Each structure stands twice: as C-alpha cells, then as structure tokens.
C-alpha cells in the first residue's frame, strides 16, 4: 500500500488491516507521510465475528468525505456500545488472543506439513491448506463436527481454509485428519 500511496499521490489508497493483530505489520505510522492513505480495520477478526464493526483512520480531508457518504444509522446502538467497551477495556484480551493464535497457527501449520500437506504462508487467523481430495476431506471433517471452508471448482479446488482455533480445537482437527 505504501508504494502505491507514494506513486499515486492523487489517488486514495486503502490498506485493509483486518488481520493486523496476527501479523504485526501496520501502515498506521505512515499516515503522516501519505495523506492519501486510509487504514481500515475491523473487530471481527479478533474473535468478535458477530460484531460487524469496522473503522478507518485517515487524513482529516478523507475522513470528511467518508462521513458524507456514510449511511445514517449504519451501526446499531448495541454494536456501538460493544465496540466502545472493547476499545476501552479489552485491548489486553485482544492482544493475548492474537498472540495465542500466532503460536497456534505455527504449531498447526507445522503439524499439517508433517502430515504431508501443503500449507500456504499466512499472517492471519486462518490457514490455506492443499489436500488430496478437498470434497472428501471436507465431508470427513464435517462428519467429525469440524467446520472448514472448501472452495469448489477453480484454482483453489483442492484447498481448504482452516481457521486457527484453540489448542484443543486444533488437536481435534489434527485427530480427525489422522482418522
């Protein structure tokens, strides 16, 4: 995003940092030098998937334009209160959760590779894994009560998206794959 923001100074460039808690790589500190850069974040990727709350951080001129196009009442009062509470009181919990996911992501990826599966690099709370038969593996995991995402026909037809869970959930996934 920074290369684009520097190259196209008259264009608004959006940096989607939905998974920043898991990567530690942010463009936030670059906003001063790149007034055309908008950093976008969400609370849904830190364990609050049902809370559809996101926000942008940008230069004041861009923020004013965004405010003009924002629909009225785009956020329920309950979602707003929950988001305010999280921002004020739960930052330590969010950081702890993200740190756990990063550790588990590495452990789970290593275990999947040890089983002969291809695991694509990830800086999120999920892994993209190439398997021999995605439909069959998906069904086997579904029968075991484990939910993963299959992609159907196309470039990712033989891949599954696996959300990194708790240590116990990841162990259950590995046990199901072994059985």
DSSP secondary structure string for all residues of 109-134: HHHHHHTT-EE---SSSEEEEE-S-H
Report whether 46 contacts 97 (CB < 8 A).
Answer: yes
Residue 47 pLDDT grade (very low, low, confident, very high; cuts 50, 70, 90): low
**What's the whole-number mean pLDDT along residues 161-179?**
95
Considering only CA atoms, which of 68, 50, 66 is closest in space to residue 58? 66
Element (H, E) at 25: none
pLDDT of 101 above 70: yes
Rounded to 5°, angle at Cα 21 from 99 and 111: 50
Alpha-helix residue ranges (DSSP H) falling in the chain: 2-7, 20-23, 60-69, 77-89, 91-114, 134-143, 167-178
DSSP assigned state of 1:
-
Q: What is the mean pLDDT of residues 74-78?
A: 86
Residue 88 has pLDDT above 90, yes or no: no
Angle at 161 between CA 156 and CA 166, to 5 degrees: 170
In this predicted structure, what is the pLDDT of residue 16? 92
* Average per-residue pLDDT for the chain: 91
pLDDT at 152: 84
Average pLDDT over residues 50-61: 88
Owner of token pair 């989607």: 16
Domains and CATH numbers, the chain: 2-89 (3.40.640.10), 92-178 (3.90.1150.10)
Mean pLDDT is lowest, of 86-90, 93-97, 101-105, for 86-90
Identify the pLDDT of residue 2. 87
CA–CA distance, 30 with 38 (Å, rounded to integer): 10
Most confident of 44-48, 91-95, 130-134: 130-134
74-88, 92-106, 108-122: which has the highest mean pLDDT? 108-122
């Amino acid at each position: 995003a920074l290369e684009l923001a520097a190259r196209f100074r008259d264009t608004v460039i959006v940096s989607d940092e939905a998974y920043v808690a898991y990567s530690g790589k942010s463009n936030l500190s670059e906003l001063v030098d790149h007034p055309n850069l908008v950093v976008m974040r969400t609370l849904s990727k830190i364990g609050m998937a049902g809370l559809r709350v996101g926000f942008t951080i940008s230069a004041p001129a861009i923020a004013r334009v965004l405010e003009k196009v924002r629909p009225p009442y785009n956020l329920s009062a309950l979602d707003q209160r929950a988001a305010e509470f999280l921002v004020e009181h739960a930052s330590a919990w969010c950081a702890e959760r993200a740190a756990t996911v990063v550790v588990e992501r590495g452990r789970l990826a290593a275990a999947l590779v040890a089983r002969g599966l291809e695991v694509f690099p990830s800086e999120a709370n999920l892994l993209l894994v190439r398997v021999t038969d995605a439909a069959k593996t998906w069904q086997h995991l579904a029968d075991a009560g484990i939910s993963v995402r299959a992609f159907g026909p196309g470039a990712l037809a033989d891949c599954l998206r696996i959300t990194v869970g708790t240590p116990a959930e990841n162990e259950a996934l590995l046990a199901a794959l072994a059985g």
